[in-house]
């Protein structure tokens, strides 16, 4: 049982449904807990995480052992609001940290809440441009134990029912227009007819409201005569084995807050072609670990992907560079350590910028 008196950092999660924010908390807190007393608060999280209960909140009126105050690390508006109330109305010994992943103009309400924070973290340089307060960029990392090279690429394909003699292009994520699934399909229809050694895999969940969109894509593939080479395989958990079966990954999103799929692919030794949205241009070294295209149209994605389909040496070398790049710069442990460094600066009264 977690002892509230010892907890120095609280990571609230006030959304029951799984989201990118929830996934971030689930991955980071166990790593942070190796170095500082941290606990989660809220629904929808695994029981294995250190956690506080709502009935523990009154015990937060006393500062934690060894620190002058606790840190409340919010990632949503509702969590910022709770922190403001606890600190400014209930007078709890708290300092407030907020991580922003949004790449849009903030509402007046959000700007007000952010102005009450003691430290603000941006998940990318592009995100930082939308903030009107000093901030520090801490980019997301990736679990290199979960996403890694396959021991045998052919066996990785075979285990998923893919033809091991074929090279495979992947596009993973929820199937909807925002995610650019239609752009990927269009690019594959342009590329695959002249390249019989390649096929494509689309993995991801389709909600009821986007079912018609999926049917239209399947019909487009069928009309192109590529139903056996452009495969819709549905949602899969875990997804990591599918990355290990790939030779090239395409991230065709029209909009993205951050976007972990390029890191997941590169950590599996797979080069990435991506539209310039989210943090993609900050994750991919253009021309080295893949390509980033300013114009996210299908024709631009196809043109950028084409050299990888036609040059096995380029494909191999880019995959090797992608793997080295992620291992050096995007290990999840680096993100956890960078967040702890922010907490230490807040405890010491140093500016976070």
CA distance linking residue 58 with residue 137, whole number of Å: 33
In this structure, what token pair is assigned to residue 123? 């998940």
The answer to whether position 295 is within a domain reads yes
The answer to whether position 353 is within a domain reads no
Torsion of CA 346, 123, 36, 80, to 10 degrees: 60
287 and 303 Cβ atoms separated by less than 8 Å:
no
User: Are 303 and 177 found together in one domain?
Assistant: yes
The whole-model pTM stands at 0.91
Q: With bands split at pLDDT 50, 70 and 90, how would you rate the model's confidence at 1?
A: low
Please give the pLDDT value at position 147: 97
Alpha-carbon torsion 319, 324, 329, 334, what sign? Answer: positive
The answer to whether position 292 is within a domain reads yes
Task: Look at residue 295 and tell me whether its pLDDT is greater than 80.
Answer: no
Q: With bands split at pLDDT 50, 70 and 90, how would you rate the model's confidence at 2?
A: confident
Q: How distant is the alpha carbon of residue 14 from its chain centre?
A: 19
pLDDT over 90, % of the chain: 89
266 and 289 Cβ atoms separated by less than 8 Å:
yes
Per-residue 3-state assignment (H helix, E strand, C coil) for 14-78: CCCCCCHHHHHHHHHHHHHCCCCCEEEECCCCCCCCCEECHHHHHHHHCCCCCCCCEEEEECCHH
User: Are 235 and 115 found together in one domain?
Assistant: no
Give the pLDDT confidence of 77-94 residue by residue, as tens digits: 999 999 999 999 999 999
Give the pLDDT confidence of 248-258 residue by residue, as tens digits: 999 999 988 89
Which alpha helices (H) appear in the chain, and where do they start and end? 20-32, 77-84, 108-115, 125-128, 153-158, 181-191, 211-223, 240-244, 261-267, 280-283, 298-310, 312-329, 332-348
CA distance linking residue 299 with residue 293, whole number of Å: 10
CATH code (residue 165):
3.40.50.2000
Please give the pLDDT value at position 197: 97
The answer to whether position 27 is within a domain reads yes
Number of domains, the chain: 2
User: Are 14 and 54 found together in one domain?
Assistant: yes
Cis peptide upstream of residue 238 (ω within 30 degrees of 0): yes
The answer to whether position 112 is within a domain reads yes
User: Are 288 and 166 found together in one domain?
Assistant: yes
What range defines the domain where residue 320 resides? 153-329
C-alpha dist (Å) from residue 110 to 104, 176, 200, 242: 11, 27, 41, 38
Other CB atoms within 10 Å distance of the CB of residue 151: 8
User: Are 161 and 238 found together in one domain?
Assistant: yes
Task: Look at residue 19 and tell me whether its pLDDT is greater than 90.
Answer: no
Give the pLDDT confidence of 93-114 residue by residue, as tens digits: 999 999 999 888 999 999 999 9
Give the pLDDT confidence of 270-289 residue by residue, as tens digits: 999 999 999 999 999 999 99
User: Are 35 and 66 found together in one domain?
Assistant: yes
User: Are 282 and 308 found together in one domain?
Assistant: yes
Q: With bands split at pLDDT 50, 70 and 90, how would you rate the model's confidence at 15?
A: confident
User: Are 134 and 177 found together in one domain?
Assistant: no
Give the pLDDT confidence of 167-197 residue by residue, as tens digits: 999 999 999 999 999 999 999 999 999 999 9
Give the pLDDT confidence of 197-246 residue by residue, as tens digits: 999 999 999 999 999 999 999 999 999 999 999 999 999 889 999 999 99
User: Are 80 and 103 found together in one domain?
Assistant: yes
């Amino acid at each position: 049982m977690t002892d509230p008196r010892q907890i120095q950092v609280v990571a609230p999660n006030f959304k029951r449904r799984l989201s990118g924010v929830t996934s971030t908390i689930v991955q980071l807190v166990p790593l942070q807990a190796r170095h500082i007393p941290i606990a989660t608060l809220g629904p929808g999280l695994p029981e294995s995480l250190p956690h506080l209960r709502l009935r523990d909140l009154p015990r937060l009126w006393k500062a934690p052992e060894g620190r002058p105050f606790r840190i409340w690390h919010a990632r949503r508006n509702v969590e910022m609001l709770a922190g403001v109330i606890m600190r400014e109305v209930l007078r709890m010994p708290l300092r407030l940290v907020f991580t922003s992943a949004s790449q849009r103009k903030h509402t007046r309400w959000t700007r007000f809440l952010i102005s009450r924070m003691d430290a603000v973290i941006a998940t990318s340089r592009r995100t930082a441009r939308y903030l009107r307060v000093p901030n520090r960029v801490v980019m997301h990392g990736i679990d290199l134990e979960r996403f890694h090279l396959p021991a045998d690429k052919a066996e990785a394909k075979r285990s998923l029912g893919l033809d091991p003699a074929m090279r495979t292009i992947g596009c993973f994520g929820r199937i909807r227009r925002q995610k650019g699934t239609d752009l990927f399909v269009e690019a594959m229809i342009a590329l695959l007819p002249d390249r019989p050694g390649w096929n494509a895999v689309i993995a991801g969940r389709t909600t009821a409201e986007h079912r018609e969109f999926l049917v239209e894509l399947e019909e487009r593939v069928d009309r192109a005569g590529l139903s056996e080479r452009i495969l819709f395989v549905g949602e899969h958990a875990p997804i990591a084995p599918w990355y290990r079966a790939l030779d090239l990954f395409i991230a065709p999103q029209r909009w993205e807050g951050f976007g972990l799929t390029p890191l997941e692919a590169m950590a599996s030794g797979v080069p990435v072609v991506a539209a310039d949205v989210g943090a993609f241009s900050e994750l991919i070294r253009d021309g080295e670990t893949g390509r980033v295209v300013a114009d996210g149209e299908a024709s631009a994605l196809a043109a950028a992907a084409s050299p990888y389909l036609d040059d096995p040496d380029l494909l191999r070398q880019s995959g090797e560079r992608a793997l080295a790049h992620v291992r050096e710069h995007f290990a999840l442990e680096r993100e956890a350590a960078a967040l702890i460094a922010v907490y230490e600066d807040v405890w010491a009264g140093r500016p976070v910028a």
